């Protein structure tokens, strides 16, 4: 039997172990049930569960979440709209997110799928030049062409840049 402070009681009967745990107001927890004799430890079980929960929360905070962002294109997209969508892709790549690029064909556009595929591959090449790699090649699925790209850059830990910028004015207001 072990104490919560590391004190070793040695081999103790079950009744005596219960008596000691009642005197100290602690719980008996079986640490190694397969050992001969089984090893038990005196701990505050509620506090122990709380510490495990806190460790799990800390691990979750440090976890990096990669999101999948979708950007949709049309086969007859204009240069200005294309630049805007590519700027969005650049922002997603800088944040370390994956991009699902899709091009949807409607009506008569379906008869020009080859030209649309060529335009889509040009768009993919422009996104690759920004610092992305193609995870899944462009595929035709029904009336859509879909490709998934991932950022080469490592994802940012902690809050995003936009979140930090929002917090700075609040801090200045509190100081005043």
Same domain, 139 and 82: yes
Structure pTM? 0.55
Return the pLDDT at 112.
86
Answer yes or no: is 59 within a domain: no
Q: In this predicted structure, what is the pLDDT of residue 166?
A: 54
- Residue 3 domain flag: yes
On whether both 40 and 109 belong to a single domain, the answer is no
What is the pLDDT averaged over residues 107-111?
87
pLDDT band (50, 70, 90) for residue 24 = confident
Q: Which domain holds residue 99?
A: 68-151
Asked whether residue 105 is domain-assigned, the answer is: yes
User: Does residue 72 share a domain with residue 39?
Assistant: no
Query: Considering the domain boundaries, does residue 124 fall inside one?
Result: yes
Reply yes or no on whether the pLDDT at 104 is more than 70: yes
Are 110 and 141 within one domain?
yes
CATH number at residue 38: 3.10.20.80
- Provide mean pLDDT across the span 7-27: 84
Q: Residues 5, 6, 7, 10: is their CA dihedral positive or negative?
A: positive
- How many CB atoms lie under 10 A from the CB of residue 147? 20
Furthest CA-CA distance within the chain = 86
Tell me: the pLDDT tens digits for 153-173? 766 555 555 555 555 555 555
Q: Residue 157: its pLDDT value, please?
A: 56
Q: Are residues 110 and 36 in the same domain?
A: no
Q: How many domains does the chain have?
A: 2
Question: Helices marked H in 96-140 — which ranges?
Answer: 113-129
**What is the pLDDT at residue 100?**
93
Q: 145 and 75 share a domain? A: yes
Q: What is the pLDDT of residues 46-92, one digit of tens each?
A: 888 898 899 988 888 877 777 889 999 998 889 999 999 999 999 99
Question: What does the alpha-carbon distance between residue 151 and residue 90 come to, in Å, rounded to a whole number?
Answer: 10
**Are residues 102 and 145 in contact, defined by beta-carbon separation less than 8 angstroms?**
yes
Return the CATH number at 121. 3.30.110.10
Asked whether residue 95 carries a pLDDT value surpassing 90, the answer given is no
Contact assessment for residue 32 and residue 38, using Cβ atoms and an 8 Å cutoff: yes
Distance between CA atoms of residues 76 and 119, nearest Å: 9
Give the long-range contacts of residues 79-88, CB within 8 A, separation 24 or more: 82/123, 86/123, 86/126, 86/127, 86/130
Residues 6+ apart with CB under 8 A from 1: 8, 9, 10, 11, 12, 17, 20, 39, 40, 41, 42
pLDDT more than 90, % of the chain: 26
> Does the structure show a pLDDT above 60 at 44?
yes
Whether residues 88 and 32 fall in one domain: no
In this structure, the answer to whether residues 97 and 130 fall within a common structural domain is yes
Q: Is residue 163 part of a domain?
A: no
Query: Is residue 73 one of the residues assigned to a domain?
Result: yes
Ranges assigned E (strand) in 54-163: 68-73, 98-104, 132-141, 144-151
Residue 18 has pLDDT above 90, yes or no: no
Whether 94 maps to a domain, the answer reads: yes
Considering the domain architecture, whether residues 41 and 86 belong to the same structural domain is answered as no
Q: What is the pLDDT of residues 116-155, one digit of tens each?
A: 999 999 999 999 998 888 988 999 988 999 999 988 876 6
Same domain, residue pair 140 and 95: yes
Whether 96 contacts 156, CB under 8 Å: yes
In a domain, 164, yes or no: no
The pLDDT score that the predictor gives to residue 174 is: 54
């Amino acid at each position: 039997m072990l104490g919560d402070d590391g004190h070793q009681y040695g081999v103790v009967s079950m009744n005596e172990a219960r008596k000691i745990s009642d005197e100290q107001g602690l719980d008996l927890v079986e640490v190694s049930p397969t050992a001969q004799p089984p090893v038990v430890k005196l701990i505050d079980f509620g506090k122990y569960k709380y510490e495990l929960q806190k460790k799990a929360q800390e691990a979750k905070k440090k976890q990096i979440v990669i999101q999948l962002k979708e950007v949709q294109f049309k086969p007859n997209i204009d240069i200005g709209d294309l630049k805007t969508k590519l700027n969005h892709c650049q922002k997603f790549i800088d944040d370390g997110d994956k991009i699902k690029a899709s091009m949807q064909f409607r009506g008569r556009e379906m008869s020009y799928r080859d030209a649309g595929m060529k335009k889509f591959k040009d768009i993919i090449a422009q996104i690759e030049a920004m610092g992305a790699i193609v995870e899944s090649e462009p595929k035709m699925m029904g009336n859509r062409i879909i490709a998934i790209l991932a950022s080469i850059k490592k994802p940012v830990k902690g809050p995003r840049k936009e979140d930090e910028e929002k917090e700075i004015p609040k801090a200045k207001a509190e100081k005043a």
